[in-house]
Structure 1
Amino acid sequence: MSNLQEYLIILVVAYSLFVGSGVNPTVAAVVVMAGLFGTLSLKILYKA
């Protein structure tokens, strides 16, 4: 499950960058989660 760990690291880094840039933490969380789910959906679709 190293892919999951990679996603979590990317998630944390992206969130930190957003919050560090002065973005509202709630907005940053929504954007990062949307991007994460979008990427996972694409990976699942391409594997199918």
Structure 2
Amino acid sequence: MKKSIITDTKLTGRSPELIRTFFFGATLVLGATLLGATIAAGFDATYIK
């Protein structure tokens, strides 16, 4: 999926900044999701037994 997105963007002539912003946003969302899952797992382990 990532390769096709990058090639499409290059073909349409958009700036690399847009790609960088897109991947930065995706990384932020992924990181927040992982962090939330970790906190939830820790909370479950600590308080729900």
Give the TM-score category using the shorter length.
0.5 to 0.7
TM-score (norm 1): 0.56
Task: Give the structure with higher Rg (CA).
Answer: 2
Q: Report runs of 4+ in structure 1 exceeding 4 Å deviation.
A: none
| Higher relative contact order (Cα pairs below 8 Å, separated by 6+ residues) | 1
Which segments of 5 or more consecutive residues in structure 1 lack a partner in the other structure? Answer: 1-13
Q: Once the two structures are aligned, what percentage of the paired residues are identical?
A: 3
Which segments of 5 or more consecutive residues in structure 2 lack a partner in the other structure? Answer: 40-49
What RMSD over aligned residues (CA atoms) do the two structures have, in Å?
2.2
TM-score (norm 2): 0.55
